[in-house]
Structures are given as structure tokens and as C-alpha cells.
Structure 1
Amino acid sequence: MVFRGRSKHTLDSKGRLAIPTRFREVLERRGEDCLVVTNHDSCLWVYAKKDWLIIEERAIELPEFDQDVNTYLRYFISGAKECPLKQNRITIPPDLREIAGLDREVMLVGQLKRFEIWDKDRWEEAFQRAKEHFPKASQSLREFGI
């Protein structure tokens, strides 16, 4: 099972986000009750903990004196926070909410192995850009057999 689809949701005043049933089903089938949330570009990327551990295992093998590796580690890896699933919700830490510009209305966007959390307005802008770029992007994916 994978994370798919997109839907609008609301953060409460404490930064809690209800995880939709279709995403919870993916987690339940994998035996997961904890997510790892990190910053990426203009949104947050959310992984099941087991998938995140695979990323960490790969990252630990990267050359530590490479400037791009250090940039990646400082931004993406260091931002990661474990967010346990409690009563079908996670609490997004304030620093991650601030980085992603999350206020109240958010979009959850399935990305197969992970899902994204976007501020609704930022999502609409990003989706418009994706829509414009889609014909070119879909052509380039042919080399991967898609």
C-alpha cells in the first residue's frame, strides 16, 4: 500500500493534524504508529518511521566532507522529528510548522512512499507550477518506463 491522493485538512491551535483514514490504513498494514516529519523545499515530507530509517542508513554512508552532503544533512536530516500517531493525529512541531509556513488550512499530498504537508496557498501555487511543467516531466519519465 502507498500514500496516494490529496485532500484539504485543518491544523488545530496546538498544531495537531488528523491523519486521513486512507493514510492510516497504509500505516496500520505496515505496523506503524509513528511518523517522521522533516522540512523539504516549501512543505514537509512525512515518512513512516521504517522508511525513514532506510534513508538514515543510506545517508550515514555518504561522504562526510562533501559540501552537498553536509547541506543535505543540515537541512533535511537535522529537521527530522518523530511524531507519534495518537488518536489518529500527529502534532507537528512549531519549528517545522514555521519553516513550511503552515497556519490553519493545509493540504496532504500522497507521494507513494511518503506524503507531503503543504500550506494550502503554497500548495495551490506549487500545483499550478507542476501543472504547467507536467507535459515535459511526463516525457522525461518515459526513460523509467512510466
Structure 2
Amino acid sequence: MFFRGLFEHSIDGKGRTSVPARFREVLLQSYGERLVVTFGFTDDPAERFLGIYPLKNWEEIEAQLARRNQSDPGVKEIYRTYVANAFEVEVDKLGRVLLPPNLRAHAALEKEVVWVGQGKRMHLWSQADWTRAQSAASSADRQKDAAQVWGEIGG
């Protein structure tokens, strides 16, 4: 099962946010309630969001990294930036996760947040940054890139 859809939620003063009900269903059916939260991976430094992975999927990523040449600069950067900032969290009985302060600060998560399904993972954005990213994504070049990939996968 995959994570898909877009859900607007809030974050409380303690840094907790509800995992969307649809995402919780996917977790319960396929993965369990343990997640790994880290910086979102992007080639655009202006984009700030969190990447949220079921623990099983994150462990697969770490296993693939472990098989790579550890002196490769890209591998080193992934370890320093993404693995070093990865935190394991668990969905509580009310369907919420507690996000560490440094991750909330990195993604500027304060009040309104947007959960975005990304197949085998989820992204968590501030409402303001999500709106900005969507405006940028509507550029002709990005639409052309997306159309090419969409055609290649038979969409």
C-alpha cells in the first residue's frame, strides 16, 4: 500500500500533530506504528519539509547506504544530513506523533501543516512553504519535466 493524498492539520504547542486517518490505515495494514522522521530530501535548498518513513522503509534505505562506498561524497552527505537528523517516533493512541524541536525548526512547522503522500513515504510541510512550493511547481519547466516522467510510467 502507498501513501497518497494531501491533508491539512495543525501542530500543538508540544510539537504533536495528527497523522491523517488514511495514512494511519496504511501504516496499520502494512507497516506498524513506528516511523522515522528526518529532513526532507530535495535538490532545492529553498524547500524545507520533513520526510517521514515507515521504520521498515527507512531501514531499507539505511541498508542500501551501508552497501555503498562509504567514502563517496554523496553517501557522506546523506549520513551527515539525513541519517544524523533521523528520529524514530511512534504514533500514539490518539493518532499523533511528537516531532523533535530541531526538525520542527528546520521545516518551520509552527501551527498549520500539510501532510503529503509520496508513495512509500510522507512529507510534512508548513502550510506557507507548501503554498510557495506549489506556486513554484507550476512553472512551465517543472510541468514539462513532470509530463515526461508521467508519460514514461504510463500515467
Same fold judged by TM-score > 0.5?
A: yes
Give the Cα separation in 2 of the matches to 1:57 and 1:10: 33
Q: 5+ residue gaps in structure 2?
A: 43-47
Query: What TM-score, normalized to structure 1?
Result: 0.94
Q: Which stretch shows the higher mean deviation, 6-15 or 134-143?
A: 134-143
Give the Cα separation in 2 of the matches to 1:65 and 1:141: 35
Give the CA deviation at 1:62: 1.4
Give the Cα separation in 1 of the matches to 2:101 and 2:79: 20
What is the letter of the counterpart of residue 126 of structure 2?
Answer: D
Give the Cα separation in 2 of the matches to 1:18 and 1:117: 11
Give % identity: 36
Query: What TM-score, normalized to structure 2?
Result: 0.88
Corresponding residue of 1:38: 38
Give the CA deviation at 1:71: 0.9
Give the Cα separation in 2 of the matches to 1:145 and 1:28: 30
Matching of residue 62 in structure 1 with residue 68 in structure 2: yes
Corresponding residue of 2:88: 82
Give the Cα separation in 2 of the matches to 1:44 and 1:37: 7
Q: Structure 1 pair 145/120, CA: closer, same or farther in 2 (3 Å)?
A: same
Contact 2:114 2:126 in 1 (8 A): yes
SS in 2 for 1:22: helix
Once the two structures are superposed, residues 89-128 of structure 1 have per-residue CA deviations (whole angstroms, 9 ceiling, x without a partner) of 1000001001111111110000011110001100001111
Contact 2:91 2:97 in 1 (8 A): yes
Q: 5+ residue gaps in structure 1?
A: none
